[in-house]
């Protein structure tokens, strides 16, 4: 059997063998658990804020009707949403780090002491 075929057989065998999660994989998953909720929220909130801002701009420039004062108000709301998005992201991230800090520190200490 050639070397390439042996590597293929080994990779197929490994894909069917039971996989035990390593400490490094656990640490990566915990880190993702901390960052994912904050990232998802900030993306969704930012897109909504940008759409509100765009709607306000369209109203203010009288593309969607003759409602300039309403467009200015809606645009200001959109600007406010986009402006506070980063600070909300940081707050959600901080709470996630506080929630998982003990587990992450314990796992990282184990990995560093090996």
The answer to whether residue 15 is domain-embedded is: no
Instruction: Pull the structure tokens for residue 72.
Output: 């200015």
Q: Kindly indicate the confidence band of residue 113, based on its pLDDT and cuts at 50, 70 and 90.
A: confident
Full-model pTM: 0.74
Q: pLDDT digit string (tens) for 5-48?
A: 888 998 898 888 887 888 888 999 999 999 999 999 999 999 99
The number of beta carbons lying within 10 Å of the beta carbon of residue 79 is 14
Question: Domain limits at 99?
Answer: 21-113
The answer to whether residue 7 is domain-embedded is: no
Domains held by the chain: number: 1
The number of beta carbons lying within 10 Å of the beta carbon of residue 88 is 15
The answer to whether residue 28 is domain-embedded is: yes
**What is residue 86's predicted lDDT score, i.e. its pLDDT?**
96
N residues, the chain:
114
- Alpha helix stretches (DSSP H) within the chain: 3-16, 23-60, 68-113
Interior/surface letters 46-66, b for 16+ CB within 10 angstroms, e for the rest? beebeebbebbbbbbeeeeee
């Amino acid at each position: 059997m050639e070397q390439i075929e042996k590597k293929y057989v080994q990779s197929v065998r490994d894909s069917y063998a039971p996989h035990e999660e390593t400490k490094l994989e656990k640490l990566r998953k915990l880190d993702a658990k901390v960052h994912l909720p904050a990232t998802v929220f900030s993306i969704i909130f930012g897109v909504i804020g940008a759409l509100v801002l765009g709607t306000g701009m369209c109203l203010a420039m009288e593309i969607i009707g003759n409602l300039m004062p309403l467009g200015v108000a809606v645009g200001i709301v959109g600007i406010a949403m986009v402006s506070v998005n980063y600070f909300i992201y940081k707050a959600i991230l901080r709470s996630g780090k506080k929630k998982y800090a003990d587990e992450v520190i314990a796992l990282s200490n184990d990995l560093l002491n090996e």
